[in-house]
Amino acid sequence: MSSAQLTCLLESNNVPLDAEIPTICEIISENQTRLDALNAQIEALRTAMEQLITERDEIADSVKRRTTVISPLRRVPSELICEIFSLSQFTRRIGGEIVNCPPWYLGHVCRSWRYSALSTPFLWSSIEISKPSIDVPLTDIYPLSMIETQLLRSGSVPLQVSVDWWTDDEGPLFDSLLLQCERWSTVCFIDNLNLWDDEYDFLSLSPNLRKDILTDSKLQAWSPPLLIPWTQITHYRGSYSPESQMDILQAAPNLVECGISLDGGDDPIPDGREATLSHLRRLHVGDPVLLGHITAPLLRDLFFSGSMSTALPFADWFPFFKASKVSNIWFSSCAM
């Protein structure tokens, strides 16, 4: 059978002659044998390729792992790692206030990071206790052992204490914090606190205390009754009755930043009550009527929030502005 005859059969629907069929079957058999041989070679090459790829990946991983041994990062001094940690931000928000959080997870990375984290007391100096997102006992989320460990790791550096949730069942936890109250430099007590039945004077034992955050950033949350060494306070935010606020302002001449709102219904500020804040730079008020009772010669930034329905007439603001250096004024959620 010639090639021309086979081509004619391939390009048509003609039926091959009986004499041609054996030749065609022989050609098919030869091609099938060659195809099987090629498939076997391909499979062998594929297997060899997979083995080579596996070996390559293993060697590449080995090279990568051994390269890390001589990486410059391994030779970074622990002092520099500590400095990087101290410049990093480990924060969360409580009542609109951004507070630092202890970097528990840094100790899970490697031995050198753990050593650096544990040898940097500043990283552990912020104690924050916030409302659980689920209905579980507070001590399940903030066990006493965890707070005590953090206090131990913080050494003797000043502490920032932030609390926005408390019940009467956590006495030992709070007692542990109170034992370190002389180290408190910042307190942030925001709403939902059930332990403030009477005035507490533990803050009077905090000689390093400079910052009191006693209401949320919108000046709406009720502030707890606390006896505070106001003469040493430089930053304050709270919501009290008009008379109490004036008592505080008169007792805190060193304030640099202040946020105040009046929580006393329509109680007026007594006539003649004046407070001179010679160091004040930033003032946030929820009721502009306070401006008629404050003198702040170095004030630069003034913030208004809440309703302005009880505001002083603009003409009555002039003495306040004349006696200050206000250059920036912000209005937030104000009904003018």
| Annotated domain spans of the chain | 85-217, 229-234+243-336
Residue 185 in 3-state DSSP?
A: strand
User: Mean per-residue pLDDT for 274-290?
Assistant: 89
Q: List all residues 6 or more positions away from 165 whose beta carbon is below 8 Å from its beta carbon.
A: 129, 130, 131, 132, 138, 192, 193
Q: Which two tokens stand for residue 145?
A: 């052992």
List pLDDT tens digits, range 230-263: 999 999 998 888 888 999 999 999 999 999 988 7
Report pLDDT for 102.
76
Percent of the chain with pLDDT over 70: 81
Report pLDDT for 183.
92
User: Mean per-residue pLDDT for 147-167?
Assistant: 85
β-partners of residue 212 are 187, 236
Report pLDDT for 334.
44
Single pTM value for the model: 0.69
Report pLDDT for 94.
52
pLDDT band per the 50, 70, 90 thresholds, residue 13: confident
User: Mean per-residue pLDDT for 310-319?
Assistant: 62
Amino acid code (one letter) for 275? A
List pLDDT tens digits, range 288-313: 888 888 899 999 999 888 655 555 55
Residue 330 buriedness (CB in 10 A; 0-12 / 13-18 / 19+): exposed
In the numeric block, the tokens 């009720």 are attached to: 222
Q: Which two tokens stand for residue 119?
A: 């040898």
- β-pair type (91-94, 97-100): antiparallel
User: Mean per-residue pLDDT for 185-210?
Assistant: 71
User: Mean per-residue pLDDT for 36-48?
Assistant: 96
In the numeric block, the tokens 């403030």 are attached to: 196
pLDDT band per the 50, 70, 90 thresholds, residue 32: very high
Tell me the pLDDT of the chain averaged across its residues.
Answer: 81
**Cα Rg, the chain, nearest whole Å:** 38
The answer to whether residue 48 scores a pLDDT higher than 60 is: yes
Backbone angles phi, psi at 193, to 5 degrees: -95, 125
Which has the higher per-residue pLDDT, 90 or 49?
49
Report pLDDT for 316.
63
